[in-house]
């Protein structure tokens, strides 16, 4: 009887330890967004139609272009995302014109004065440097002005690592000789944090023009792109922080002479230069930002052919 009692007690103690181990589970926290009201709040408290593309989703689609990922979202169409690389990519939200969708980079509006409606070319931004994307649908003129009649797309950059130095890299390949590469270094040194990143994309491409003769001798439209990103922040006190950032993006793409004509010497070279400087002051229930942002866009179209293609006139 004594042996049976000891075995029963031991079995009971072992059974009681199982639920204790299983009960130690991770409790997910509510996602905090800032685009809906310009103040940090939980997504379910915003009361607005908001789509958040988090870090895990961006990493899963790291081989894609920004326009490709946005084009997959409900109610959002990016013209040019299904065309050869180098095609100008503009966002149309809920069927409204591209000039009514405001693009933000870390809360700062970005424009392209060289385009007709001032719409920003999404080719200039790479997914590699983004932590998340917030897509706010519906009229937001009260908060963001008349450029946000259809909605807002806020591109939020990755923060620096708390480590002294963290190295990251990515290499991907696809069809038509397409390769994407990225290398970055970021970290924190005392009161200062830094970020340096370089991305490159090359593609042999294909001709977007339709060959009515079916000879299949149209030239392929190649693409080459370089993107440099730089970020620096320094704590000036317990509540005051200085932030500096810069972005230099350029790409070269081959173009055709139209829907049915090839052109072997027609190229486009587009460049975007952005620089930002600002102060951030932390309050008990929010932050005050003072930012100065410069955006310079340059487009060059060169057709140096000495021959005139058939059917040009």
| pLDDT score for 290 | 92
Q: Which residues constitute the domain of residue 104?
A: 32-303
- The Cα–Cα gap between 158 and 48 comes to 25
In a domain, 61, yes or no: yes
Model confidence over 137-168: pLDDT tens digits?
A: 887 666 787 788 888 999 999 889 999 999 99
Model confidence over 3-22: pLDDT tens digits?
A: 443 433 333 333 343 434 44
In a domain, 308, yes or no: no
CATH number at residue 174: 2.170.130.10
In a domain, 247, yes or no: yes
How many folded domains does the chain comprise? 1
In a domain, 291, yes or no: yes
In a domain, 312, yes or no: no
Model confidence over 227-250: pLDDT tens digits?
A: 999 999 999 999 999 999 999 999
Find all residues with CB under 8 Å of 183, minimum gap 6, and list them.
Answer: 167, 168, 169, 170, 197, 198
pTM assigned to the model? 0.76
In a domain, 13, yes or no: no
| pLDDT score for 9 | 37
Find all residues with CB under 8 Å of 310, minimum gap 6, and list them.
Answer: 261
């Amino acid at each position: 009887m004594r042996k049976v009692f000891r075995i029963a007690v031991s079995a009971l103690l072992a059974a009681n330890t199982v639920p204790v181990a299983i009960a130690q589970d991770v409790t997910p926290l509510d996602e905090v967004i800032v685009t809906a009201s310009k103040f940090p709040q939980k997504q379910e408290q915003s009361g607005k139609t908001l789509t958040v593309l988090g870090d895990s989703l961006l990493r899963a689609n790291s081989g894609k272009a920004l326009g490709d990922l946005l084009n997959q979202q409900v109610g959002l169409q990016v013209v040019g995302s299904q065309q050869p690389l180098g095609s100008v990519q503009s966002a149309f939200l809920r069927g409204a014109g591209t000039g009514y969708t405001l693009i933000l980079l870390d809360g700062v509006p970005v424009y392209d004065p060289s385009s007709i409606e001032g719409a920003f070319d999404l080719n200039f931004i790479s997914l590699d440097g983004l932590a998340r994307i917030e897509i706010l649908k519906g009229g937001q003129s009260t908060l963001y002005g008349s450029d946000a009649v259809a909605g807002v797309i806020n591109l939020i950059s990755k923060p620096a690592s708390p480590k002294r130095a963290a190295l990251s890299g990515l290499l991907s390949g696809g069809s038509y000789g397409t390769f994407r590469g990225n290398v970055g270094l970021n970290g924190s040194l005392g009161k200062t944090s830094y970020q340096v990143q370089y991305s490159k994309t090359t593609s042999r491409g294909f001709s977007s023009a339709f060959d009515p003769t079916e000879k299949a001798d149209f030239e392929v439209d190649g693409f080459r792109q370089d993107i440099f990103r730089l970020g620096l922040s320094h704590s000036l006190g317990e509540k005051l922080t200085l932030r500096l950032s810069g972005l230099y993006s350029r790409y070269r793409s081959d173009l055709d002479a139209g829907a049915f004509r090839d052109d072997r010497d027609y190229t486009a070279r587009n460049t975007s230069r952005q620089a930002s400087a600002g102060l951030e002051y932390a309050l008990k229930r929010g932050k005050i930002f003072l930012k100065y942002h410069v955006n310079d866009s340059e487009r060059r179209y060169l057709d140096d052919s000495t021959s005139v293609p058939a059917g040009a006139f």
